[in-house]
Structure 1
């Protein structure tokens, strides 16, 4: 299917993109385009203009500030897989990025695009929840930082306001092991269920994606595990991870099957970080 007619603009800077957004509120930002273009072809989205930000150096780059890893929103999935700084400061991210799409998607798609789109079956939201990430958002009026717990609000819903752009992702240094486990749809490679775990001396943080309108922390399992990562305790804590009635059921998987997958994948991830 063909898209509806639209104008195309290539931004020369973040400020240039923000000005274009202010002048045309119906416009959409284009980075990798792997979520936006298919929805436009199906006419589920019909922006009057696309603002291409894929070539902006301001949105690229990986650096460290103290104990915080800072990712530009334009960093690709492939960069996260192979970058040595990311592997040192947040090893959960490369483990997650390997699961994203296929080689073409990983080489073109960006972490900022995933965050802005907020697909409930995307991989990063679970891992960013477990890592305690923060997002820098910029508009013509200034900048603000929003924590991951407050950013993802629902299915394709975020704390982004009109005229704002995700510019950076800030991640505290990961103190301990991390693992991401996923049962994916065979065609789209999106998560039917995905589970991210970070284990540190203080305990574990566990988050799940694909099973509801947004990624969610598995607080009950975190409390049950505590700092005891023995196989016996993991088996006990993951026997009933989540109530099936609180999960999404669709043509890909029922609520009950997603609840079963949540237990299996949480168990696998926890066994990997022992």
Structure 2
């Protein structure tokens, strides 16, 4: 099947792109095109106009920034045309962005990562894919621009609204990393390279020097769940030691509170069991990553 007819506009600069999008609310933005092109060809999506931003200068940068005020969390600011492979290359060089790098390595093949954009994966707002969990665990923010205004917002809000609104363009993604001493884990089940997986989970864990938990974020990405962090499971770890009983309690809470659905790959019950297993394993990995060579918790 071929795409329905559409007009094409190659934007000269960002102002040009925003003005065209503002005048054409039904327009689609072309950057990587890994999700857009298949949707157009299968006619699951129709667009009267395609706005190509690939030649707009200044949208493909990946910049490492100092942490936000109040905490030394490293930050990557990523332009909307930056390819996933370029983001991965930068994240892999910074220990604070190891969680982002681990997730990116599971996003398709090397060839796919050379074409796909990270901003596109966020703007796609697919809760069953990796970026939904990372948005919740890392507090990722996006810069959204229209012809008349610019605003920053939590990337999680895009998932509630199924992506940017008419005339809006996600021009940058800001990804905080993990502080020194924080533990993290990213696990995914299944061998599929493209599309939905059986399921997965991202975890960020902050322990005090005495081993007690300051805070925990646990977010699964699985069919049926919206990608949000499981607040009850994370809260169950706080203020106490993250020992084997605490890990089991958190994993059981995660399985009880996560929303799952059945499809051709797995049943809803299987996915709930999978979340329990992955959360337990991820928390063990995250605790291990908080410990230095001597076995002491790194503060």
Distance of 2:139 and 2:42 partners within structure 1: 35
The alignment partner of 2:58 has SS state of: helix
Quick one: which of 95, 98, 102 aligns to 1:88?
Answer: 95
1:151-162 aligned within 5 A: 151-153=158-160, 157-158=162-163, 160-162=164-166
CA contact (8 A) 2:123 2:158 kept: no
CA contact (8 A) 1:123 1:190 kept: no
RMSD: 2.2
Distance of 1:84 and 1:24 partners within structure 2: 36
What per-residue deviation string (whole Å, max 9, x for no partner) do you get for residues 122-172 of structure 1?
A: 211201210111111010111001113433206xx13x2211110111233
Which blocks of at least 5 consecutive residues in structure 2 are unaligned?
Answer: 68-74, 208-213, 288-299
Which blocks of at least 5 consecutive residues in structure 1 are unaligned?
Answer: none
What per-residue deviation string (whole Å, max 9, x for no partner) do you get for residues 222-264 of structure 1?
A: 1122263323421332134233783222222221111111111
TM-score, structure 2 length as denominator? 0.83
Are 2:243 and 1:230 equivalent residues in the alignment? yes
Task: Indicate the structure with greater strand content.
Answer: 1
1:118-133 aligned within 5 A: 118-133=125-140
- The match for 1:211 is 223
CA contact (8 A) 1:135 1:166 kept: yes
Paired positions, count:
271
Are 2:293 and 1:273 equivalent residues in the alignment? no
CA contact (8 A) 2:202 2:220 kept: yes
Deviation at 1:212, TM superposition (A): 2.3
- The match for 1:188 is 194
235-244 vs 103-112, greater mean Cα deviation: 235-244
TM-score, structure 1 length as denominator? 0.90
Distance of 1:38 and 1:173 partners within structure 2: 32
Q: Please say which structure displays the higher CA radius of gyration.
A: 2
| C-alpha spacing 1:185/1:57, structure 2 compared with 1 (3 Å) | farther
